[in-house]
């Protein structure tokens, strides 16, 4: 039939009860699936962390992680390439949990020395937490046999965030070139963390509480005397 020139509007379909139920089910299904996936991921990481810290990296297998997490190896490999991959995820999870939550003011308008001291206190406290020490002990003990452990440490985003933050402070306050500021920031991290952490895992006598309390100020004082522009 040829068009008459009048436009007719289609009558909207009225959904039946069954289609409404299916639509509601689909809308509800998204969140539980996401929550279940997140819970599964957390369970795998918790299982892997417990085994790495209790048994060591070399003695922990993918089979053991899967068994402890209550999953199949197929499920494990759907998320991680291998044992080194899940170790890096565990390391990232631990490091991120030690970094201050967003919104906590670390950098304030009270000068370079005060900001660096505050950062040093935060980083030192994080580096001496039990999980951080256990992971560091594991990495020191097994990285010769498993070089990917050391590589995983070097890729941690939290460390790079700290370097970036310190470098920006040095560029702003000391007018250092960015390359020089980046180098100085990495040295600052080592000055703050390396000796206390190594001593805390048994490579010498641990620092006494009084020494730990004054460590950030002493490091900052030494660092600033040698980090000025030339």
pLDDT at 17 over 70: no
Provide the mean pLDDT of the chain: 81
Higher pLDDT, 118 or 18: 118
CATH superfamily, domain at 26-80: Homeodomain-like (1.10.10.60)
In this prediction, residue 161 carries a pLDDT of: 81
Return the percentage of the chain with pLDDT > 70, whole number: 78
Residues in the chain: 230
Instruction: Return the exposure string of 19-34: e unless at least 16 CB atoms fall within 10 Å of the residue's CB, then b.
Output: eeeeeeeeeeeeeeee
- The sign of the dihedral angle between the CA atoms of 98, 150, 187, 181 is negative
Give tens-digit pLDDT for 102-135: 556 677 888 899 999 999 998 899 889 888 898 8
Boundaries of every domain in the chain = 26-80, 98-226
Burial (CB count within 10 angstroms: exposed 0-12, middle 13-18, buried 19+), residue 156: middle
Angle between helices 112-127 and 178-200 (to 10 degrees): 40
Indicate the Cα dihedral angle 113, 162, 41, 55, nearest 10°: -80
- The sign of the dihedral angle between the CA atoms of 136, 140, 146, 151 is positive
Residues in contact with 205: Cβ distance below 8 Å, sequence separation at least 6, in sequence order: 199
Which pTM value belongs to this model?
Answer: 0.69
In this prediction, residue 15 carries a pLDDT of: 47
The answer to whether 149 and 139 have CB atoms below 8 angstroms apart is yes
Question: Between vectors from CA 48 to CA 46 and to CA 53, what angle results, nearest 5°?
Answer: 95
Q: Which CATH architecture has domain 98-226?
A: Orthogonal Bundle (1.10)
In this prediction, residue 102 carries a pLDDT of: 59
């Amino acid at each position: 039939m040829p068009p008459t020139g009048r436009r007719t509007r289609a009558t909207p379909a009225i959904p039946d009860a069954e289609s409404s139920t299916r639509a509601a089910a689909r809308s509800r299904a998204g969140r539980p699936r996401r929550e279940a996936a997140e819970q599964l991921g957390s369970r795998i990481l918790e299982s892997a962390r417990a085994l790495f810290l209790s048994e060591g990296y070399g003695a922990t297998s993918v089979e053991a992680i899967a068994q402890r997490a209550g999953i199949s190896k197929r499920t494990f490999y759907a998320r991680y390439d291998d044992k080194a991959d899940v170790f890096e995820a565990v390391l990232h999870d631990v490091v991120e949990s030690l970094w201050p939550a967003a919104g906590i003011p670390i950098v304030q308008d009270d000068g370079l020395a005060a900001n660096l001291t505050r950062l040093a206190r935060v980083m030192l406290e994080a580096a001496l937490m039990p999980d951080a020490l256990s992971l560091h002990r594991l990495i020191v003990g097994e990285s010769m046999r498993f070089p990917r452990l050391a590589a995983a440490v070097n890729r941690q985003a939290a460390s790079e965030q700290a370097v970036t933050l310190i470098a920006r402070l040095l560029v702003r306050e000391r007018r250092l070139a960015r390359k020089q500021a980046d180098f100085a920031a990495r040295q600052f991290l080592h000055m703050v963390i390396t000796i206390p952490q190594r001593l805390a895992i048994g490579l010498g006598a641990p620092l006494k509480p009084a020494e730990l309390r004054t460590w950030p100020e002493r490091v900052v004082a030494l660092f600033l005397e040698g980090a000025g522009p030339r």
